[in-house]
Amino acid sequence: MSCSLATMNCEEVWTLLNIIFGSSLGASFYVLLRTHPYLVERTYDPKYNAAYVSRFITGVIGGVILAVGLGPFLAVKLGAEAGTTLTPGVLAILGGYAAEAVESILQRLVEILLAAVKGDGTAQAQAKASAEQAERAAKVQDLLPDLEAAQGDTVKFKATLQQVRVALKAK
């Protein structure tokens, strides 16, 4: 029994064919469901053929991505117990039918990757807030001797106290 697509063994070839045909099946099902009402009402317009072909190709690619690229991740998330994992063929059908969902998953993974590389900005915001707080504390420290000196003069004391309040509220 010689199943060879270059150096793949027979099981790998069948899995790959299962994924390709599964994603094609899911994509075809999606396109047929979307065109069915137009065919029934005899209002189908061939000018949209390119859009349907494009969606079919996107579905096939989405199915392959879901089955091959995201399948192992989903298997871990769902648990590897018997009956809980989805086969690559089933994932390919789902990905072919729901290419938009695969796009959303990929977009979310890109956002996570960018946040890991760039950071989410929390450290920068905390550093800025700490710097502002230190600046306010320094202003208050500078005003404390004036406040102590003004204890006998009510007007000067209230004016200095107001400066302390302003320094504490400053952003």
CA angle 15-102-66, nearest 5°?
Answer: 15
pLDDT digits (tens, 9 = 90+) for 48-83: 999 999 999 999 999 999 999 888 777 777 666 655
Q: Is residue 83 part of a domain?
A: yes
Same domain flag for 91 and 148: no
Same domain, 67 and 93: yes
Per-residue pLDDT of 11-21, as tens digits, reads 888 989 999 99
Residues 128, 111: one domain? no
Residue 95 structural domain? 10-118
DSSP code of 151? S
Q: 85: closest CA among 98, 93, 74, 95?
A: 74
Residue 49 lies in a domain: yes
Rounded CA gap, 71 and 87, in Å? 8
Query: Are 67 and 143 members of one domain?
Result: no
**What pTM does this model have?**
0.63
- The C-alpha atoms of residue 170 and residue 165 are separated, in whole angstroms, by 9
